Amino acid sequence: MRRAAAALIATLSFSAAAKDTVRIAFVGPLTGGNSAIGLGGRNSSDLAVRLRNADAKAKYQYELVVLDDECKPDAGVQMATKAGSDRGIVGGVTHYCSVVAMATVDTYHRFGLPAIVWGAVLPDITYAHDFKEIHRVNGTMINQNETNAVFINQHGFTKVAVIHDTTDYGKGHNKYFTRFFQQGGGQIVATFGVTADQQDFTAELTQIKAQNPQAIYFGGLTPIGVRIRAQMDKLGFKAQFDGTSGIVNDDFIKALGPLAEGTLAFREGAPAEKLPGGKQFLADYDKQGYSNPPEAYGPFAYAAAVLLMDAIEKVGPDRKKIIAELANVKDRDSIVGKITFDDHGQNTVPAITKYVVQDGKWLTWEESEYASGKRKLTNVR
Amino acid sequence: MPAEVIAQYAMNGAMLGMMYALVAVGFTLFFGVLDVIQFSHGDVVAAGAFAGLAAWTLLTSAGVTSPGLLLLAVIGSAALVTAALGALVARFIVLPVKSAPQLNVLLVTLMGGTVLRECIRLFYPGGSQPKLFPALLPATGWSFGTFLLRFDNVILLVSGALLIAATHLLITRTRLGLAIRAVAQDEETARTMGIDFRKVVLVTFALGSVLAAFAGVMDGLYYNEVFFGMGLLLGVIGFAAAVLGGLGNLYGAIVGGFLFAALQTIGAVALPFASAYKDVFAFGVVIILMAIRPTGLIGERASERV
C-alpha cells in the first residue's frame, strides 16, 4: 500500500499532465475606452497563471477564462453570471470599473463565487454589504483620502478649503477627506460643490481667499482642476493645491505649465517599477511578449490571481473553502505590498503613492526635492 | 463683507460680463440684420481662441519671443479666422436657408456649430484636452488688501469696452453702418436703393465674429486655458444675454451680458445653497425676467434696431 502511494506521488510530481486542471476567471474591460487598462490586467493575470503552471511544485494546472465586461454594468452582470453558473470555475479576478464591480456584487454572492476586485475604487463595492465572496486587493478612495488628510495635517496645514465636483466621485472624495482631516484636528473653512464642466471659479475662489486657508483640497478630475489652479493664480491667491488620483496625469501638467509645480496628489497603487516585486514582475511580463503594457493596475490583477491560486493550492478547488481561506489573508507578501483583508474583504494595507509635481513631472513624494527639504510646499510653516 | 472682497467680486463679474457682452453683441448684430439666430456663434468664439493659440505656437516655435508681437499675432490670427468663418457661415449656411422657416436656420447653425466644435477636438493637436493659453499681458497688479487689481484684467476690460464702442461708431457713423442699418430695417428697400445685400450680410457676420474672436482670446488670456467645448456655454449665455437685453439692440446686449454675470456672481456667493447652482439661479432669473419683459429689458420700440 505504502509503495503504491509512493509510486502515485512520484507519478504526480514527475508528470505535469497528470495534474487536475482548475479554471479561474478574469473579468475586465477588454473593449471600449478603458480597454488599455483591461488588457494590461488580463495579461498580468495570465502571467500569474503561466508562472504557476511552470512551477513543478504546484498541485494543479490552471486555466484562465477571460471575459469582457466592456466597462458596462449590464455586460458585467452577464459575464459574472456566466462565470458564476459554470461550476468548473472556482474563483474570479474581477473588474476595473467601479460601476461594473458594484453591479456584479449581488451576482457573485448569489452564485457563491469568490471574487477579487483588481481595480475599481468605489468604497461601496466592499463596504455596502456583508457578502463574504467579495474581496479587493487595491485601495479605495477612502485609503487615498486618509493618506492625503494625514499628510496634509502632518505638514502643518490646519486650515483647508474644499472644492469638489458634484458627481458621486467628487462627493465621495469630499466626504472621506473631510472626515479624516477633521479627525486629525484640521479645520475645513469652506466647502464648494461645483459642476464638472464649470469654467469660472473666481467667485468661489474669492470667497475662499477671504477665509485665508493654507491649502485647497480638490476632489475631481483634470479639466476643472486645471482651471481652479490657474484661476487661483489670477486672484493672487497663494495656497497649497492638494488633489486626488483624478489629476495624476500628464495632461494636468501640460495645461498648467509652471503653475503645476508643487501640486500634491495621491493615488492607489504605485508605478510598477517601484512596487516591492515590481522589477521581477516587469521582467517576467516582458519575457511573455504581450503586445500591451501592464498599465497602472496590472500588478493588482497579478496579485489577485496569485492570491486566488494560493488559496486553491491550500484548500483545493472548492468555492466555499476558498472563500473561507481568503478570509484568513493577513500580512501576505505580494508584489503590491502586504495584503490583509478586513472583515469586508478589503485590503487594509494598500499601497497609496504620494505624488508631487516637480519641474513638470509627477514624482513620488519620497524622491522629490520637496521631501528632502530643498524645495518647500506653499504655506508650509 | 469687507470692501476689498466686494471689489474682487465686482472685478470678477466685470470680466465675465465683458466676455458675455462681446458674444451677445454678435448675436444681436446677426439678428438685427437678418432676423436669424446664429447658434454656432459660441463655437466661433472657441475657434477664435484656438486660432490665436495656433498663431502663438507657430511663432514661438519660430523663435519669436516679444510678447507685444505675439499678442498682435494672436489677435490678428483669431480675428482673421473668425471673420472668414463668420462670412462662410453666413454665405453657405445661413443665406441658403434664409427664406425657409426660422427653425431651419436655428437648426443648421446649431449643427454647423457642432461640426466646428468637433473639428477643433479632432484636428487641433491634442484638441480633446484643455490647452494652456499663454499669458501675454503683464501679470502684476495693484494689491489692496486681499483684492488684486491686475493690469491684464484692466487692459482686457478697457479694450473690450473700446471694441464695443468702435462697433457702435461703425454702425452709427459710417457708410457701411448706414448700409447695415438699412438692410436691418427693410431688406427690399435697401436693395432697391442699390445696397449690395449679400455683401452687407457677409460683412456683418464677419464683424460679429471678430467680436467673438476677441471674446475667445480674452477668455484664453483671462483663464490661461482654452478647450474645444468652451463655446458651448458661452454661446448659450451670450444668446440669453442678447435676448434678455432685447435681441437686435446693441445696448441691450451689453446690459444683458453684465446682468447675467452679476446674477452668476450673486448665485455663487450671496445665496445660501451650493455654488453648483449658480447657473440654475442665473438662468432661472432670466426666465422670470423674460416672462415679465418678453421683448427684453430695452425693448425694440425704445430704440432703433442695431
pLDDT in tens, A307-359: 999 999 999 999 999 999 999 999 998 998 889 999 999 998 667 889 999 99
3-state secondary structure of A344: coil
Which range (A150-164, A207-221, B80-94, B137-151) has the least confidence?
A: B137-151
Min Cα–Cα distance to chain A from B22, Å:
17
Digit-coded pLDDT (tens) for A137-156: 988 888 889 999 999 999 99
CA of B210, closest CA in chain A: separation in Å? 22
Closest among A12, A59, A266 to A142, alpha carbons compared: A266
Residues of A in contact with B128 (CB under 8 A): none
- Cβ–Cβ gap A255/B268 under 8 Å: no
The answer to whether residues B66 and B111 touch, using CB atoms and an 8 Å cutoff, is no
CB distance A228 to A257 below 8 Å: no
- Closest chain B CA to residue A258: B132
SS3 A200: coil
pLDDT for position A4: 55
Of A206, A209, A230, the CB nearest to B225: A230
Q: E-assigned strands of A254-379? A: 264-268, 352-358, 361-364
Tell me the one-letter amino acid at B153. N
Is the CB of A195 inside 8 Å of chain B's CB atoms?
yes
Measured in angstroms, the CA of B78 and the nearest CA of chain A are apart by 20
Pairing of strands A20-28, A60-68: parallel
Q: What is the pLDDT of residues A61-89, one digit of tens each?
A: 999 999 999 888 899 999 999 999 999 99
Q: How confident is the model at residue A6 (pLDDT cuts 50, 70, 90)?
A: low
Best mutation target, A164, A167, A195, A199, to test chain B (most B CBs within 10 A)? A199
**Cβ–Cβ gap A254/B276 under 8 Å:** no
Q: Look-up: residue for cell 469696452?
A: B161
Per-residue HEC secondary structure of A111-158 comes to HCCCEEECCCCCCHHHHCCCCCCEEECCCCHHHHHHHHHHHHHHCCCC
Q: How far apart are CA B147 and CA B154, in angstroms?
A: 14
Whether residue B202 is predicted with pLDDT greater than 90 in this model: the reply is: yes
CA distances (Å), B8 to each of A204, A340, B263, in order? 11, 51, 15
> A204: which chain B residues are within 8 Å (Cβ-Cβ)?
268-269, 275
Please count the residue pairs, one from chain A and one from chain B, whose beta carbons lie less than 8 angstroms apart.
90
Residue of B2, B274, B275 lying closest to A203 (CB–CB): B275
Of residues B141, B225, B278, nearest to A255 (C-beta): B225
3-state SS class at A22: strand
Are the beta carbons of B130 and A226 separated by less than 8 Å? yes
- What angle in degrees, to the nearest 10, is found between the helix axes of B151-173 and B250-269? 150
Distance CA A379, CA A264 (A): 13
Cβ contact (<8 Å) for A226 and B225?
yes
Nearest CA in chain B to A190: B274
What is the 8-class DSSP label of residue A261? T
Q: Do A210 and B5 touch (CB under 8 A)?
A: yes
Chain A residues lying within 8 Å of B229, measured CB to CB: 197
pLDDT, tens digit, 9 for 90 and up, residues B40-87: 999 999 999 999 999 999 999 999 889 899 999 999 999 999 999 999
- Of B131 and A264, the structure prediction assigns the larger pLDDT to A264
Shortest Cα distance, chain B CAs vs residue A377, angstroms:
21
What residue of A is the nearest CA neighbor of B17?
A200
Residue A28: per-residue pLDDT: 95
Closest C-alpha among A154, A121, A72, A131 to residue A269: A121
Cα gap B233→B48, rounded to integer Å: 15
CB B298 within 8 A of CB B249: yes
Can you spell out the DSSP letters for A28-97? E--SSTTHHHHHHHHHHHHHHHHHHHH-TT-SEEEEEEEEE-TT-HHHHHHHHHHHHH-TTEEEEEE-SS
Whole-number pLDDT of residue A338: 87
Q: Does residue B154 carry a pLDDT above 90?
A: yes
What integer pLDDT is reported at residue A300 of this predicted model? 92
* Partner B contacted by A360 (CB < 8 A): no
Mean pLDDT of A269-277: 77
Arithmetic mean of pLDDT over chain A: 89
Question: For residue A202, which residues of chain B lie inside 8 Å, CB to CB?
Answer: 12, 15-16
pLDDT of res. B303: 46
CB A47 within 8 A of CB A284: yes
- Provide the shortest C-alpha distance from residue B138 to chain A (in Å): 12
Give burial (CB, 10 Å; 0-12/13-18/19+) of A115. Answer: buried
Say which DSSP state A215 is in. Answer: E
Considering only the beta carbons, identify the residue of B227, B264, B278 that sits closest to A223. B227
CB B113 within 8 A of CB A208: no
Residue A323 near residue A91 (C-beta atoms within 8 A): no
Q: What is the pLDDT of residue B98?
A: 85
Residues 242-281 of A with CB under 8 A from B: 251, 254-257, 259
A203·B269 Cβ contact <8 A: yes
pLDDT at residue B272 tops 90:
no
CB contact under 8 A, B274 and A206: no
Pairwise CB contact (< 8 Å): B130 & A227: yes
A173 Cα to chain B: minimum distance (Å): 16
- Tell me how far apart the alpha carbons of residues B9 and A377 are, in angstroms, rounded to a whole number: 28
Give pLDDT, residue B294: 86
Q: Assign residue A338 a region (left: φ > 0; alpha: ψ between -120 and 50; beta: otherwise).
A: beta
3-state SS string over chain B?
A: CCHHHHHHHHHHHHHHHHHHHHHHHHHHHHHHHHCCCCCCHHHHHHHHHHHHHHHHHHHHHCCCCCHHHHHHHHHHHHHHHHHHHHHHHHHHHHHHHCCCCHHHHHHHHHHHHHHHHHHHHHHCCCCCCCEECCCCCCCCEEEECCEEEEHHHHHHHHHHHHHHHHHHHHHHHCHHHHHHHHHHHCHHHHHHCCCCHHHHHHHHHHHHHHHHHHHHHHHHHHHCEECCCHHHHHHHHHHHHHHHHCCCCHHHHHHHHHHHHHHHHHHHHCCCCCHHHHHHHHHHHHHHHHHHCCCCCCCHHHCCCC
Is B274's pLDDT higher than 80? no
Per-residue pLDDT at B3 exceeds 90: no
B131 to A255: CB separation less than 8 angstroms, yes or no: yes
